[in-house]
Amino acid sequence: MKYAKLLAMGCAVALATVGMTGCTKTTADSTQTSEAEESESVTAQVTAVDGNTVTADLGAMAEMQAPGDGQAPGEAPEKPDGEAPSGEAPEKPDGESTDGEAPEKPDGEAPSGETPAKPDGDSSDSQAPSDNGNGNGGVPNGAPDGQGQAPSMFTASGEAITFTLTDDTQITVEQGSETTDGTVDDIKEGSILELTLDADNNALTVIVKNAGGPGAGGNDGPGQGSDASNGTAATTIDADTTADGETYSSTGDDENALRVDGVTATLSNITVNKTAGSSSSADNGDFYGMNAGLLAQNGATVTIKNATVNTGVKNGNGIFSYGTGTTVNISDSTIRTTGDCSGGIQTTGGGTTNAANLDVETQGNSSAAIRSDRGGGTVNVNGGSYVTNGTGSPAVYSTADVSVSDATLIANNSEAVVVEGKNSVSLTDCNVTGNMTGTYQDDSENIHNIMIYQSMSGDAEVGKANFTAEGGSITAKSGDMFYVTNTDCTISLKDVAFKLANEVFLRVEGNSSGRGWGQEGSNGGDVVLNAEKQRIEGQILVDEISSLKLNLTDGSGFTGCINPDGAEGTVDVTLSKDSTWTLTGDSYVSSFTGSTDNITANSYHLYVDGEQVL
């Protein structure tokens, strides 16, 4: 069947709030069905697929809660005595505190997010099975040790609907903040859909919010679907190996060109070509390495030097490190990918990737050059060039702890950096450029250069995010410099040269929750912004359901204004004796610590808790 494609315009927010139609009972066993009004949007979870006919339960995306705190996702954490969140960095495992570092993870949890379910045949945490003679992955055995199932993402209303897919149905697939073109194969039992129907219940548009299989809602938690698999491999290295000058190729469906399974391999001057072969599951490609060029798993240690990696397929991630104990060390290599959902270096399930002096370029949508997904891990990058050209393809997409130094990061058609959930990005002496050229579907959505958010998809653990940058430059060619929604985060900046595309340096606000990012009205952001020896220019906007603690220290200077249109969210500003603030508009804050002698008013006014102080 031929399906029209819906153009994906980057990785933005604020889709229209989903509405639901009325329904009537039509069968003797009280099964309820519904006919939607023409072009009205509904949310549903698939219960059966019969050719082009789909039956689904109507309902809504669940209002998920952050683990342990009983609050709705994205709801501003309760602050003692009305204070803003503390600016202190989370404690490291050894008890020391370092500003901007990712928080310590409780014992037994994966490095970030939930560890993906293990394909069949494996009993060790976060590891894929051995090849079993044919390279097939299988059905996972359940949640990793010490972790229970995640709550369902969907709340059914008790009503059902049957609709038809036609040649004109436009299908897209959302994974976190990423969006790709889809087909009927992406619609499976358990899939959560947002769809519009005509008067005859023919589907006009279908957005697959959570594809069936791993990561689906329903009774299985994220990563526990029955379809979890890493596919097959054209070549598998399952004994300690040293290779030089070899070529590894694949044209098969769901097949890696090369897989290194639980052993130590040193690979020099190799060529990896994944030139053909379709992917049967976006989740398996994103989470487990199905269809990747090179997949390392099961605690493998792989050292790669002077390699050339080319992929031209969907889910054709260049180098994929999966699972706790797996480490990929890659240097002085070139990676090119052209398909959608095809990152340059991909890390999931607690794996580790160490990269040095790589030349990475991706062409597809949802194809970050430095990419991570469910279960996260650790990524260290030193030197090199990392360029993306597709929409929803930041240079860095983090559901892991990612550190990059002395590198060039360019996103030509996307925001530059995204941090999702309880994860981190640290940039040192990097030159970063982003160019998010349009919104996802609606002109009201936000355009930005660096996004920090919580998607509630299950791909990243709920908790404080961290973004740290020291030295180098960050350039926005469109949109706000920073955008924070539905999360709690610390942003630490030191001696970074910023170039803005518009007047907004930082926007902290809620979203419509149309993509499941918290509950509208309580899905703002809580930000600690630490500026040390840092020049900041532009507006800072904090809405009524968000908060900001701004600390300007060590000779920092802020030329700009905060909420120039009037007081909204809680904003606490601390200005050290050697730091300055030059107003470019009226500013409204909740508290101010410091001397107003360090503020240049320029005929504007500063209001603190409703009182004019300048």
Percent of the chain with pLDDT over 70: 73
Quickly state the pLDDT bin for 23 (edges 50, 70, 90): very low
Q: What is the pLDDT of residue 1?
A: 35
Asked if the model's pLDDT at residue 108 lies above 60, the reply is no
Q: Are residues 575 and 601 in the same domain?
A: yes
Q: Considering only 205-219, 244-258, 494-508, 541-555, which range has the smallest mean pLDDT?
A: 205-219
Q: What is the pLDDT of residue 519?
A: 86
Q: With 0-12 CB in 10 A as exposed, 13-18 as middle and 19+ as buried, what is 70?
A: exposed
Comparing C-alpha atoms, which of 283, 288, 220 is closest to residue 259? 288
Single-letter residue type at 46? V
User: From CA 95, how far away is CA 102, in angstroms rounded?
Assistant: 13
Q: What is the mean pLDDT of the chain?
A: 80
Q: Are residues 50 and 181 in the same domain?
A: yes
Residue 68 lies in a domain: no
Q: What is the pLDDT of residue 174?
A: 76
Residue with tokens 């340059």: 344
Q: Are residues 52 and 179 in the same domain?
A: yes
Q: Are residues 452 and 552 in the same domain?
A: yes
Tokens of 282: 């976006």
User: From CA 40, how far away is CA 501, in angstroms rounded?
Assistant: 36
470-473-475 Cα angle (round to 5): 135
Q: Are residues 494 and 578 in the same domain?
A: yes
User: From CA 256, how far away is CA 263, in angstroms rounded?
Assistant: 17
Give pLDDT tens digits for 173-208.
876 555 677 888 888 888 888 889 998 889 999 988
Quickly state the pLDDT bin for 116 (edges 50, 70, 90): very low
* β 301-305/264-268 pair status: parallel
- Backbone phi and psi for residue 270, each to the nearest 5 degrees, phi listed first: -90, 160
Q: Are residues 195 and 336 in the same domain?
A: no
Residue 443 lies in a domain: yes
Q: CATH code at 203?
A: 2.40.50
> 177 or 273: whose pLDDT is higher?
273
Distance, C-alpha 487 to centroid of its chain: 12
Residue 368 lies in a domain: yes
Q: With 0-12 CB in 10 A as exposed, 13-18 as middle and 19+ as buried, what is 51?
A: exposed
* β 448-453/417-420 pair status: parallel
Q: With 0-12 CB in 10 A as exposed, 13-18 as middle and 19+ as buried, what is 186?
A: buried
Residue 102 lies in a domain: no
Asked if the model's pLDDT at residue 161 lies above 50, the reply is yes
Quickly state the pLDDT bin for 228 (edges 50, 70, 90): confident
DSSP classification of residue 127? -
Give pLDDT tens digits for 275-290.
999 999 999 999 999 9
Check residue 224 and give left, alpha or beta (phi > 0: left; psi -120 to 50: alpha): alpha
Asked if the model's pLDDT at residue 220 lies above 50, the reply is no
User: From CA 283, how far away is CA 137, in angstroms rounded?
Assistant: 13
Instruction: Name the CA radius of gyration of the chain, rounded.
Output: 24
Q: Are residues 392 and 451 in the same domain?
A: no
How many domains would you assign to the chain?
Answer: 3
User: From CA 218, how far away is CA 225, in angstroms rounded?
Assistant: 10
Residue 396 lies in a domain: yes
Q: Are residues 361 and 499 in the same domain?
A: no
Residue 20 lies in a domain: no
Q: What is the pLDDT of residue 135?
A: 41
CB 494 within 8 A of CB 518: no
Residue 93: C-alpha distances to residues 122, 145, 345, 504, 596 (Å) = 29, 21, 28, 36, 39
CB 418 within 8 A of CB 396: yes
Single-letter residue type at 199? A
Neighbours of 196 (CB within 10 A): 18
> 126 or 413: whose pLDDT is higher?
413
Residue 121 lies in a domain: no
Q: Are residues 308 and 453 in the same domain?
A: no
DSSP classification of residue 282? H
Asked if the model's pLDDT at residue 518 lies above 80, the reply is yes
Distance, C-alpha 312 to centroid of its chain: 23
Quickly state the pLDDT bin for 84 (edges 50, 70, 90): very low
- Mapping DSSP to helix (H, G, I), strand (E, B) and coil, where does residue 155 land? strand
Q: What is the pLDDT of residue 284?
A: 96
User: From CA 577, how far away is CA 470, in angstroms rounded?
Assistant: 22
> 297 or 376: whose pLDDT is higher?
297
DSSP classification of residue 132? T
Asked if the model's pLDDT at residue 581 lies above 50, the reply is yes
Q: Are residues 281 and 242 in the same domain?
A: yes
Q: Are residues 401 and 447 in the same domain?
A: no
- The arithmetic mean of pLDDT across residues 309-327, rounded, is 98
Q: Considering only 385-389, 455-459, 534-538, which range has the smallest mean pLDDT?
A: 455-459
Quickly state the pLDDT bin for 142 (edges 50, 70, 90): very low
Residue 605 lies in a domain: yes
Element containing residue 596 per DSSP (H, E): none
User: Which residue range forms the structural domain that includes residue 162?
Assistant: 42-57+153-210
Q: With 0-12 CB in 10 A as exposed, 13-18 as middle and 19+ as buried, what is 79?
A: middle
Q: Are residues 456 and 579 in the same domain?
A: yes
Quickly state the pLDDT bin for 7 (edges 50, 70, 90): very low
Quickly state the pLDDT bin for 459 (edges 50, 70, 90): confident
User: From CA 538, how far away is CA 322, in angstroms rounded?
Assistant: 41
Comparing C-alpha atoms, which of 340, 348, 387 is closest to residue 366? 340
Neighbours of 603 (CB within 10 A): 6
Distance, C-alpha 427 to centroid of its chain: 17
Q: How far apart are the first and last CA of the chain?
A: 67
Asked if the model's pLDDT at residue 103 lies above 50, the reply is no
CB 185 within 8 A of CB 285: no
